[in-house]
Chains A and B, each alone.
Chain A
């Protein structure tokens, strides 16, 4: 009896060893994702992870790409560059993934840029900083629009409104600092003078003191705030509570209707640049992005019962770009990389992508649209 059991066990072990790899050979395409699902940047990573899960499910239910199923491996970095590094190595060396989507933040992306480059594994970042793709690394791409385009768009609007003296507020995150730098650097090109500039702790829960300080400067005609949640809602509230009604501009990080809800009536009149996802239903019917934006919005909101955000859109773009490349080039890192570089006129949530060997972002300033909060909704801003 004992012998029989041990023979049976051996058989099971043998079968497992033979069958499992064979099943894996059936051309599952492994895609890794490193996202800040928890932690301080979870407002980015959360929607991104949910978007990817939804899209993979959809692709596989349609029978995969050219008959190959997609296997998604999501790693939660919690926004920590150290974790991102070890996950990147794990995904590349142990899981042997075709490509990596993410990370959610610029700091993490910059840490793993060279790792992916050396391992010749395509990286499609969901973070915005321009240094990710400038200088260009052959295997590194990003889907969000450049910070500098957002800053230019804001200044162009100010020129139209006749605003020349502004205050700049920024959170002390990588995003806030990079934004402040961009604003200060290009303001003179638009004849705009930054008369007050303050950096605050991104975890601050009340900013009335700093608002009082910049309000005391009577020259300030408008305020630009560059930060992540929850500070961007707190700034709005503290300004309006202080009875200060100069225009408030926010960064493209404001692109989630939840922040409008959080700021309540204080959000009314906030002007900011963002991708067209937020105003998809108001686009002209022949706009190349309209149908895909509406479809993504509907699928996401039906599935997760939460409003769609531009951040999830960055993951949507990364994944659909990767799938388009895989459909063309198959399960091969080098060919996929080349295929991404060759994508032209590819409509995504962030804009129309035109990649080239020099441009691994593929978007131009038209990817941004100025928006304003009106009656607790985003509408496109067309001037006063």
Chain B
């Protein structure tokens, strides 16, 4: 394998990997504050892309993306307020069923609004055939946007959770909900906020990846499966783990093309997931003690 080809695979892997990582972090944010997996996470990505594409008819691109993210955040809040908030200590099973139901509902809404056709945002710079040389390989400038946006979101999220009061309150909810209530933290609002945050992240991801991957009403399911795989692989709840696992999975998938037929790509990622879970049930970067304390 030539160096050029390796770099080409690597860049492809980083592209898939960053997309998986963003979805996985969305899972983690909600998991950390509520202890549930929101299977409608992929639909936030879809809504972000689709709404931005619609808004683009009326306004310039940056504004359309900004508004699309804001609207998706609102949808996230509404979902939490309508379906999750009024449940008193729901079981894991019930929450899983509810979020899967929400994801089906979102897809149905989307097909009624936008129909079944594929759409995409225009490339932020250049067009569908422009490319930039990176170490002898050629990649689309949009890939840099995807990687850049993912990195930026990760950094901002880190700063938010570490340094702001609200961020600390959310983390308090995550580590012990009862204690957080006793400290006077409104945990219900924190849960809503976690849905808003993860909806916003998903939506932004949906916008930056739309020129590369296209947006379609049913794109969420596939993304949710990959994102969930990555979240588990990295250790549920760990954002750093999600990034590392996302990139790892993306790169393995890209390089696997050179050895096995491409159609086995998904089989490979699931096989890796299973293998790792046999050896390390807490994921690559999760701690055993923390996993032992979790319900799910």
Q: Which residues of A contact B (CB under 8 A)?
A: 37-40, 42-43, 46, 172, 198-201, 203-210, 212-213, 216, 229-230, 233-234, 236-237, 240-243, 258, 262-267, 306
Q: Which 6 A-B pairs have the closest CB atoms?
A: A42-B116, A205-B213, A264-B128, A212-B8, A240-B129, A200-B262
Q: A201-B266, A212-B5, A212-B9 are in contact. Are A243 and B131 (CB under 8 A)?
A: yes
Rounded to whole angstroms, the CA-CA distance of A306 and B117 in the bound complex is: 11
- Report 12 cross-chain contacts, Cβ distance below 8 Å, ordered by A residue: A39-B218, A42-B116, A200-B263, A204-B265, A205-B212, A209-B255, A209-B257, A210-B262, A258-B118, A262-B214, A264-B122, A306-B117
Q: A201-B263, A234-B214 are in contact. Are A209 and B118 (CB under 8 A)?
A: no
Rounded to whole angstroms, the CA-CA distance of A164 and B4 in the bound complex is: 27
Provide the B178-204 mask, 1 if CB < 8 A to any CB of A, else 0. Answer: 000000000000000000000000000
Besides A201-B263, A240-B129, 11 new A-B residue pairs in contact (Cβ under 8 A), listed by A number: A46-B115, A46-B116, A200-B262, A200-B263, A205-B19, A205-B213, A206-B213, A208-B12, A216-B2, A241-B140, A242-B8
Q: In the assembled complex, how far is the CB of residue B147 from the closest CB belonging to chain A, in whole angstroms?
A: 13
Return the contact of A209 from the options B8, B140, B261, B266 (Cβ within 8 A). Answer: B8
Q: Which residues of B contact A240 (CB under 8 A)?
A: 128-129, 131
Q: In the assembled complex, how far is the CB of residue A175 from the closest CB belonging to chain B, in whole angstroms?
A: 14
Rounded to whole angstroms, the CA-CA distance of A203 and B119 in the bound complex is: 15
Which among B9, B131, B262, B265 has the highest number of chain A CB atoms within 10 Å? B262
Return the contact of A243 from the options B123, B138, B262, B266 (Cβ within 8 A). Answer: B138
Q: Which residues of B contact A37 (CB under 8 A)?
A: 116
Q: Is B84 an interface residue (CB 8 A)?
A: no
Whether the Cβ atoms of B116 and A38 lie closer than 8 Å is yes
Give the contacts of B187-238 with A (CB-CB under 8 A): 209, 212-214, 216, 218-219, 222
Interface residues on B, range: 35 or more
Q: Is B175 an interface residue (CB 8 A)?
A: no
Q: Which residues of B contact A40 (CB under 8 A)?
A: 218
Whether the Cβ atoms of B118 and A263 lie closer than 8 Å is no
Whether the Cβ atoms of B129 and A241 lie closer than 8 Å is yes
Q: Which residues of B contact A236 (CB under 8 A)?
A: 128
Return the contact of B263 from the options A46, A172, A267 (Cβ within 8 A). Answer: A172
Q: In the assembled complex, how far is the CB of residue B269 from the closest CB belonging to chain A, in whole angstroms?
A: 11
Q: Which residues of A contact B265 (CB under 8 A)?
A: 200-201, 204
Rounded to whole angstroms, the CA-CA distance of A201 and B137 in the bound complex is: 24
Q: In the assembled complex, how far is the CB of residue B22 from the closest CB belonging to chain A, in whole angstroms?
A: 13
Q: Which residues of A contact B247 (CB under 8 A)?
A: none
Whether the Cβ atoms of A38 and B111 lie closer than 8 Å is yes
Rounded to whole angstroms, the CA-CA distance of A230 and B255 in the bound complex is: 22
Q: In the assembled complex, how far is the CB of residue B11 from the closest CB belonging to chain A, in whole angstroms?
A: 7
Q: Is B77 an interface residue (CB 8 A)?
A: no
Whether the Cβ atoms of B261 and A263 lie closer than 8 Å is no
Q: In the assembled complex, how far is the CB of residue B10 from the closest CB belonging to chain A, in whole angstroms?
A: 10
Q: Which residues of A contact B255 (CB under 8 A)?
A: 209
Chain A residue nearest in CB terms to B254: A209
Q: Which residues of A contact B137 (CB under 8 A)?
A: 212
Whether the Cβ atoms of A230 and B116 lie closer than 8 Å is no
Rounded to whole angstroms, the CA-CA distance of A270 and B8 in the bound complex is: 24
Q: A213-B5, A216-B2, A262-B120 are in contact. Are A230 and B128 (CB under 8 A)?
A: no
Return the contact of B261 from the options A198, A207, A262 (Cβ within 8 A). Answer: A198
Whether the Cβ atoms of A233 and B214 lie closer than 8 Å is yes
Return the contact of B138 from the options A38, A43, A242, A306 (Cβ within 8 A). Answer: A242
Chain B residue nearest in CB terms to A207: B262
Q: Which residues of B contact A199 (CB under 8 A)?
A: 261-263
Chain A residue nearest in CB terms to B212: A206
Q: Which residues of A contact B130 (CB under 8 A)?
A: 241
Q: Which residues of B contact A237 (CB under 8 A)?
A: 128-129, 140, 212
Q: Is B287 an interface residue (CB 8 A)?
A: no
Whether the Cβ atoms of A258 and B117 lie closer than 8 Å is yes
Q: In the assembled complex, how far is the CB of residue A190 from the closest CB belonging to chain B, in whole angstroms?
A: 25
Q: Which residues of A contact B277 (CB under 8 A)?
A: none
Rounded to whole angstroms, the CA-CA distance of A234 and B214 in the bound complex is: 9
Q: Which residues of B contact A46 (CB under 8 A)?
A: 115-117
Q: Is B34 an interface residue (CB 8 A)?
A: no
Q: In the assembled complex, how far is the CB of residue A251 from the closest CB belonging to chain B, in whole angstroms?
A: 17
Q: In the assembled complex, how far is the CB of residue A170 from the closest CB belonging to chain B, in whole angstroms?
A: 9
Give the contacts of B106-125 with A (CB-CB under 8 A): 111, 115-120, 122-123
Q: Which residues of A contact B97 (CB under 8 A)?
A: none
Rounded to whole angstroms, the CA-CA distance of A262 and B123 in the bound complex is: 11
Q: A43-B117, A230-B214, A266-B129 are in contact. Are A241 and B8 (CB under 8 A)?
A: no
Q: In the assembled complex, how far is the CB of residue A109 from the closest CB belonging to chain B, in whole angstroms?
A: 20
Q: Which residues of A contact B9 (CB under 8 A)?
A: 209, 212
Q: Which residues of A contact B254 (CB under 8 A)?
A: 209
Whether the Cβ atoms of B258 and A208 lie closer than 8 Å is no
Rounded to whole angstroms, the CA-CA distance of A167 and B140 in the bound complex is: 23
Whether the Cβ atoms of B257 and A210 lie closer than 8 Å is yes
Q: Which residues of A contact B81 (CB under 8 A)?
A: none
Q: In the assembled complex, how far is the CB of residue A307 from the closest CB belonging to chain B, in whole angstroms?
A: 10
Q: A38-B116, A43-B116 are in contact. Are A209 and B12 (CB under 8 A)?
A: yes
Q: Which residues of A contact B219 (CB under 8 A)?
A: 205
Which among A212, A265, A267, A306 has the highest number of chain B CB atoms within 10 Å? A212
Q: Which residues of B contact A203 (CB under 8 A)?
A: 222
Q: A206-B213, A258-B117, A262-B214 are in contact. Are A241 and B262 (CB under 8 A)?
A: no
Rounded to whole angstroms, the CA-CA distance of A233 and B119 in the bound complex is: 11
Rounded to whole angstroms, the CA-CA distance of A44 and B280 in the bound complex is: 45
Chain A residue nearest in CB terms to B253: A209
Q: In the assembled complex, how far is the CB of residue A381 from the closest CB belonging to chain B, in whole angstroms?
A: 20
Q: Which residues of A contact B122 (CB under 8 A)?
A: 264
Q: Which residues of B contact A306 (CB under 8 A)?
A: 117
